[in-house]
Amino acid sequence: VRFFKNLYKRFGFIILLFFLMSGFFNPSIAVFALICMMGPILLSLFKGRFWCGHLCPRGNFFDNVTSVFSNKKRVPWILRNIFVRALVCMGLLYYFINSLIKHWGNLQSVGMIFYKMIALTTIIGILLSVIFSERAWCHFCPMGSISAFVSLFRRGIYPLRVLPICIDCKLCAKVCPLSIKPYKYKGKDLIHPDCISCGNCMGICPKKAVMRRGN
Ligand code: SF4
Ligand code: SF4
């Protein structure tokens, strides 16, 4: 199982590339994007944004491909702002539902709606990677935002805890792809709804103050 987990972690983005190529020639294939739209939301009730950090092919693409040429700059607050996130969510959902109603019954046209959405948002994600950091898009991705909201009602334990031995060096905040400041949770569970459980903060902490509790 560990072998396949590592394999996916390294090469999961091939699913995105396959999707973009095959959907270009046959848009009906693009309806499979529904899995990537519903998956993160359903899982978030139990594991927060785990999907974003471990299963999303586009997130994997950002981690493995765009990270190579990313600017590694902190994502500006405006892109993390709750109102901007809500606006992006509502705008894309409005476009999506409206287009679905118009083209309902025609698989090729419905597939093309999915395809356009994924292709366009991937291009935006790549551009933001270059300007800011590789996971900049994930700060306001509609599915990520909805998952973060749903995860406020999650059941079960939180996977990470920041121990009181934290010395406030703030290195953890520097490596967090979602601009979270783990040290702010000193002595508590890391309950930030945007945490994708990537473990970067654990790896960098010189005191081993970020502890995985399992989930
Ligand atoms: S890297 Fe570790 S010690 Fe430093 S601020 Fe973060 S949790 Fe605290
Ligand atoms: S670096 Fe830590 S706080 Fe940030 S997303 Fe990864 S696990 Fe969560």
Residue 167's φ and ψ, nearest 5 degrees, are: -105, 15
Does 131 score more than 80 pLDDT?
yes
In ligand 2, which atom is closest to the CA atom of 192? Answer: 3
Q: Considering only CA atoms, which residue is closest to atom 6 of ligand 2?
A: 198
Cα of 181 vs its chain's centroid, Å: 17
User: Quick one: pLDDT at residue 63?
Assistant: 97
- The model's pTM is 0.92
Predicted local distance difference test score (pLDDT) of residue 154:
86
Do the bridges between strand 210-212 and strand 160-162 make them parallel or antiparallel, or are there none, so unpaired? antiparallel
pLDDT at 141: 96
CA distance 98 to 77: 30
pLDDT tens digits, one per residue of 53-102: 999 999 999 999 999 999 999 999 999 999 999 999 999 999 999 999 99
Ligand 2 nearest-atom number relative to CA 197: 7
Token output for 22? 């095959």
| pLDDT surpassing 90 at residue 191 | yes
The pair of structure tokens assigned to 40 is 């993160």
Q: What is the C-alpha to C-alpha distance for residues 176 and 139, in angstroms, rounded to an integer?
A: 12
- Encoded amino acid at 134, one letter: E
Centre a 10 Å sphere on the Cβ of residue 181 and count the other Cβ atoms it contains: 13
User: Strand 160-162's sheet: what is its strand order?
Assistant: 188-189, 160-162, 210-212
pLDDT at 85: 96
CA distances in angstroms from 106 to 28, 118, 180, listed in the order given: 9, 19, 42
Q: Which residue has the tokens 């010395």?
A: 167
Instruction: Give the pLDDT score at 157.
Output: 80
Residues with CB under 6 A from ligand 1: 162, 166-172, 182-183, 204-205, 207, 209-210
Residue 20 has pLDDT above 60, yes or no: yes
Question: DSSP strand E in the chain: where?
Answer: 160-162, 188-189, 210-212
CA distance 14 to 118: 15
